C-alpha cells in the first residue's frame, strides 16, 4: 500500500520559517518533519511514498536526491559526467515518487493528481506537518473491518494553553493535556479506497470540505480514534513544542530505531 503525503501548501502561519523553504522541510532536530513522518510509516513496513509537491517543491527534490547520493564516499568522473557513491551509509529501502501538483492547487486537487500513481489500489494519505505515535497496522485493520471508502484518524487536539488545577487560589498542577471537552478533530493519517477520487472535482477542491463532507453524507467515512499522542505544526509555538520533545531524547512519535 502506497503512502501519499501532501507537501505543497504555503505554510502561511509559519511565514517566518517558510519564506525560503516549504513547511515539510522545517527541521525537528536534525531532519525535516517530512522525514519524521516517513519514518513513522517505514517502521510499520510501508516504504513506498508519493509526495505531492507545490510551493518550493524543488527544495524537497533536492533534499531527497542529496540524501540518497551523498550518504557515503563519492567518486566524480568529470569526463563522463558520472557520480558514483560507495560505502553508502544510507540504510533506507524507500521508494519515493516526487510529483508536481501545482503551486496553487488545493489539497483535494493535489490528491486527485496522484490518481495515476495510485491506480486502482487502496492507499494511505497524510499531511506533511503532523506527527503521532499511531499504530499503522491497527489503523489499516480498522479500515479493512468496516468496508467503507475512507478512514480518517480522529484525535483530540493538544491544549493551546496550560491546564491548571486549583486548591482554592493555589495552583496545584499545571500541565498541557488534551482538550477532552473539545471533542475530536481530523488528524489526517487516512486510509482510502480508490473510489474517493470520484468525490474530488478538480484543482480548486479542498479535501477537508466537499469530499469529506460528501463521503460522510454517503455513509462512506469512518473514524479511527487515536487516543494517544498527536501534534500538528501549524505555528511557531507548535514547532517549538516538537523541538523540545525531540531534545528530551524520548519524543512520543519516535517508534523507529536509528
CATH number, domain of 98, equals 3.90.550.10
Structure confidence at residue 42 (pLDDT): 97
Long-range contacts of 103-107 (CB under 8 A, 24+ apart): 103/8, 103/54, 103/55, 104/54, 104/203, 105/8, 105/54, 105/203, 106/203, 106/204, 106/205, 106/206, 106/207, 107/6, 107/9, 107/205, 107/206, 107/207, 107/208
236 falls within a domain: yes
Q: Which ranges of 168-235 does DSSP label H, i.e. alpha helix? A: 210-217
Ranges of residues in the chain whose predicted pLDDT is under 70: 87-90, 159-166, 169-182
CB 153 within 8 A of CB 189: yes
Residue 158 placed within a domain: no
A 10 A CB-CB count for 75 gives 9
**Residue 148: inside a domain:** yes
What domain count does the chain have? 1
Residue 232 structural domain: 2-152+186-247
Backbone region of residue 101 per phi and psi (left: phi > 0; alpha: psi in -120 to 50; beta: other values) = alpha
Q: What is the pLDDT of residue 127?
A: 97
Residue 37 lies in a domain: yes
258 located within any domain: no
Residue 75: the pLDDT is 85
In the prediction, which pLDDT does 215 show?
95
**Does a structural domain hold residue 59?**
yes
pLDDT given at position 169: 55
Which pTM was predicted? 0.88
Residue 180 lies in a domain: no
| Residue 227 forms part of a structural domain | yes
Q: What is the pLDDT of residues 45-58, one digit of tens each?
A: 999 999 999 999 99
- Identify the pLDDT of residue 162: 58
Which pLDDT score, from 0 to 100, does residue 82 have?
81
Amino acid at each position: 500500500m502506497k503512502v501519499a503525503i501532501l507537501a505543497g501548501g504555503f505554510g502561511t502561519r509559519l511565514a517566518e520559517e517558510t519564506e525560503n523553504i516549504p513547511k515539510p522541510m522545517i527541521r525537528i532536530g536534525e531532519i525535516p518533519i517530512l522525514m519524521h513522518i516517513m519514518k513513522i510509516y517505514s517502521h510499520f513496513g510501508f516504504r513506498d511514498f508519493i509526495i505531492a509537491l507545490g510551493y518550493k517543491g524543488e527544495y524537497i527534490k533536492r533534499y531527497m536526491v542529496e540524501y540518497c547520493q551523498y550518504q557515503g564516499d563519492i567518486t566524480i568522473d568529470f569526463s563522463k559526467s558520472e557520480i558514483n557513491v560507495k560505502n553508502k551509509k544510507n540504510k533506507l529501502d524507500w521508494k519515493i515518487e516526487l510529483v508536481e501538483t501545482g503551486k496553487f492547487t488545493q489539497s483535494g486537487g493535489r490528491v486527485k493528481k496522484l490518481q495515476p500513481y495510485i491506480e486502482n489500489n487502496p492507499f494511505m494519505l497524510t499531511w506533511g506537518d503532523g506527527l503521532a505515535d499511531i499504530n499503522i497496522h491497527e489503523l489499516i485493520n480498522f479500515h479493512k473491518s468496516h468496508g467503507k471508502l475512507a478512514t480518517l484518524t480522529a484525535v483530540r487536539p493538544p491544549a493551546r494553553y496550560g491546564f491548571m488545577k486549583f486548591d482554592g487560589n493555589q495552583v496545584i498542577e499545571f500541565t498541557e493535556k488534551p482538550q477532552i471537552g473539545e471533542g475530536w478533530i481530523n488528524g489526517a493519517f487516512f486510509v482510502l479506497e480508490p473510489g474517493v477520487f470520484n468525490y474530488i472535482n478538480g484543482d480548486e477542491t479542498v479535501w477537508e470540505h466537499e469530499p469529506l463532507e460528501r463521503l460522510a453524507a454517503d455513509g462512506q467515512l469512518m473514524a479511527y480514534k487515536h487516543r494517544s499522542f498527536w501534534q500538528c505544526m501549524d505555528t511557531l509555538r507548535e514547532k517549538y513544542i516538537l523541538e523540545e520533545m525531540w531534545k528530551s531524547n524520548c519524543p512520543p512519535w519516535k517508534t523507529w530505531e536509528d
